[in-house]
């Protein structure tokens, strides 16, 4: 599989956020495909979830990066999340922590935290450079 055709979204299972995040990532990274790793409230799962749940996400993200040549990984949180019903401020803190967790996996790609607002617009909360 040629590198540069994929990016990875660790996204909520909520169908409302799938398309906005995929579209944003395709535009930002110039890729054709988005590998989706979905969980209810993935920012909260990565920030404070059970080790087994985090390891499951790690396994799927690693496959995307190593096998599909994913050029970036984004963790998304969103407004009105049923799986992680906390305030926007808490989501933003969790996204920053989640990015730190994903970055600790030593993947050679940038890792971003994305927020999807009430209008389904995507904004970057934080971005970490690739590990060397």
Q: What is the CATH number of domain 6-128?
A: 3.40.1050.10
pLDDT at 30: 96
Name the residue among 104, 83, 102, 84 with its Cα closest to residue 92.
Answer: 84
pLDDT at 1: 44
Q: How many CA atoms lie within 13 A of 48 on its CB side?
A: 8
Angle formed at CA 126 by CA 26 and CA 42, multiple of 5 degrees:
75
Residue 42's alpha-carbon distances to 28, 31, 75, 80, 102, in angstroms, are 21, 23, 7, 13, 12
pLDDT profile of the chain (132 residues), mean per 10: 80 96 97 97 96 98 96 98 96 98 97 98 96 74
Residue with tokens 């209008």: 119
Angle formed at CA 91 by CA 12 and CA 39, multiple of 5 degrees:
20
DSSP assignment letter at 30? T
Residue with tokens 């970057």: 124
CB–CB of 65/109 below 8 Å? yes
Residue with tokens 């920030």: 47
pLDDT at 28: 96
């Amino acid at each position: 599989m040629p590198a540069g055709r994929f990016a990875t979204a660790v996204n909520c299972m909520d169908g409302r956020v799938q398309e906005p995040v995929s579209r944003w990532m395709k535009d930002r990274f110039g890729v054709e495909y988005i590998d989706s790793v979905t969980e209810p409230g993935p920012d909260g799962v990565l920030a404070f979830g059970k080790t087994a749940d985090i390891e499951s996400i790690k396994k799927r993200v690693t496959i995307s990066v190593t096998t599909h040549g994913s050029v970036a990984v984004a963790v998304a949180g969103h407004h009105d999340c049923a799986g992680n019903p906390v305030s926007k401020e808490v989501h933003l803190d969790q996204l920053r922590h989640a990015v730190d967790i994903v970055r600790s996996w030593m993947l050679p790609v940038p890792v971003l935290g994305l927020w999807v607002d009430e209008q389904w617009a995507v904004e970057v909360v934080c971005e970490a450079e690739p590990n060397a």
